[in-house]
Structure 1
Amino acid sequence: MRDGRGGREPSPLWLKASPVIFLLIWSGGFGFAKMGLEHAEPLTLLALRYALVLAVLAPAALLLRPPLPPSRAVWGHLAVVGVLFQTVYFGLCYVAMKSGLSAGGIAMIVSMQPILVAILAPRLTGEVVTLRRWAGLGLGLAGAALVIGVRNELSAESLLGPALAGIAVFAIAGATLYERRFGVTCHPVTSNAVQYAAGFATTLPLALAMENLHVDWTWELGIALVYLVVGNSLVALTLLLAMIRRGEAAQVSSLFFMVPPVSALIAWLVIGEVMPPVAWAGLALAAAGVAIAGPAGSRMRRS
């Protein structure tokens, strides 16, 4: 966003804190999703999650009466991002976890998204990814791999789960680049409502066709749904899309290198999983990579 004098508007305080908040909430989502999948099939869990999100957004929309998207094109762009994020990315991730891929394993695979974004961003969004940013992305990947590797998160897993997670990486990278190129700033309630409606409209038919819709209603499922609806669906994704609009795609995507290490750190703090000293070194390496791949690591092409 730019001000009337052609300069970039200063970022609000909440946006400056967004990376930390996003990382904490997003990193915890893999574990809570794994918890929920113990009590529901993957697409059924997603359809239920999106229905609850829309139930939360409906009264907010009636109360706030936010402006609607200004054109059919904007409606379409919001829907495309919603399908890529909610149906394709999360659908594949949930099916992968249900097939046996661990939460840490899928976090590790998805953390490769920044490399894909960095490769595609110059052609699709006009960003020039410099050698400094490539170095940061490489350090981030190495640090994330080190953390997960020493914790043996990727051992003894079927090929189906990693294959689905690999396709999911393309989905979230595509959503990131599409949002960066075509995204238009809308009221958060409006954009979330359209995107989750698109996700629900495409996920529910798949669940009806492929699953029996059985749900084991337990308190563990309730806790998982609260976290996934409020944390991942409403807070984390809103912050992610805001950061994408205000920053560059490769810079924002570099945050995903921190997800596996932060997931490991949260597990250590919350449930006492011990991190070996080498894993702490990996955490520091990933953090250094994200710092190097920051704003100074890329520039926009001039027309």
Structure 2
Amino acid sequence: MPAGLAALLVGLQPLLTAAFAGPLLGEQLSWRQWLGLGLGLIGISLVLGSKLEVGESLFDGFGISALLCVTAALMGISLGTLYQKRYCTSMPLLSGAVIQYLAAGALLGIGALLFESRQVEWSSTFILTLGWLVLILSIAAILLLMALIKKGEASRVASLFYLVPPVTALQAWWLFDERLPLLGLMGMLVAITGVVMAIRR
């Protein structure tokens, strides 16, 4: 599945989380927050528009299994956010993160033993990339997410995910000289406006 299409589908997460947050957590969103969530989705659609590589058919180049995997990711992060908010707000951040990573590591370790070669070609690029994934994304970002869920409403925290595509597009423009079309810039402004509307009290 093209990365842009996968990102757009997972971009439904704030809306899905907000929809479930009402019945599961008792969170009530105002019309302004719903409008903000809708604007956020429109904004990331504009940002990702140039990266969508859908052919004549929706399933050109990938099968239903790819769609099922992306749907599982969408449901996992949405339901995980709600579960974290409902049952884990009293859990200490550091020890809670360690327990979650040990559980995930055990499951993925079994998968690696069964399906992977486990051969690594060490290089400076690999080490720097691995360091970024472990230290920044897996530790710092997840601890920040858990802290935000602990302090705020799940629907407001989820709306911040709409900032990921605009920030990624800016990083790609700055680091890799990727073009930043006018439509993408407009999408960034729409997404940021939507997030502001969704998180303001």
Higher relative contact order (CA 8 A, sep 6+): 2
Identity of aligned residues (%): 35
Q: Residue 185 of structure 2 corresponds to which residue in structure 1?
A: 280
Measure the CA separation in 1 of the matches of 2:52 and 2:120: 28
Cα shift at 1:294: 1.1
The question of 1:158 aligning with 2:55 is answered no
Name the residue aligned to 1:253: 158
Does residue 107 of structure 2 align to residue 202 of structure 1?
Answer: yes
Question: What TM-score comes out, normalization by structure 2 length?
Answer: 0.90
Whether 1:120 aligns to 2:20 is yes
The equivalent of 1:34 in structure 2 is none
Distance in 1, Cα, partners of 2:70 & 2:124: 28
| Runs (5+) with no aligned partner, structure 2 | 56-60
The Cα shift of 1:217 comes to 2.2
Shift in Å, 1:272: 1.0
CA distance in structure 1 between the partners assigned to 2:80 and 2:30 by the alignment: 22
1:142 aligns with 2:42: yes
**Greater CA drift, 238-247 or 208-217:** 208-217
**1:261 and 1:283 in contact (8 A); partners too:** yes
Q: Taking structure 1 as the reference length, what is the TM-score of the superposition? A: 0.61
Note the C-alpha offset of 1:204: 0.6
Contact 2:112 2:118 in 1 (8 A): yes
Q: Does residue 1:110 correspond to 2:10, yes or no?
A: yes
Partner of 1:217: 122
Alpha-carbon distance in 2 for matches of 1:136, 1:199: 33
Deviations 1:29-86 (A, max 9, x none): xxxxxxxxxxxxxxxxxxxxxxxxxxxxxxxxxxxxxxxxxxxxxxxxxxxxxxxxxx
Paired letter, 1:216 = E
Which one-letter code corresponds to 2:72 in the other structure?
I
Contact residue 110 and residue 256 of structure 1 kept, 8 A:
no
Task: Please name the residue that 1:191 is paired with.
Answer: 96
Q: Which amino acid aligns with 2:62?
A: S
Q: Distance in 2 between matches of 1:186 and 1:117?
A: 21
Q: Which residue of 9, 17, 33 corresponds with 1:133? A: 33
Shift of the 105–223 alpha-carbon distance from structure 1 to 2, 3 Å rule, reads farther
Q: Report the CA distance between 1:111 and its aligned residue.
A: 1.6
Q: Deviations over 1:271-293 (max 9, x none)?
A: 11111111100000000000111
How much is the aligned-residue C-alpha RMSD, in angstroms?
1.7
Secondary structure of the corresponding residue to residue 8 of structure 2: helix
How many residues end up aligned between the 2 structures?
Answer: 195
Deviations along 1:153-178, one digit per CA (max 9) or x if unpaired, are 44455234343112201000011000
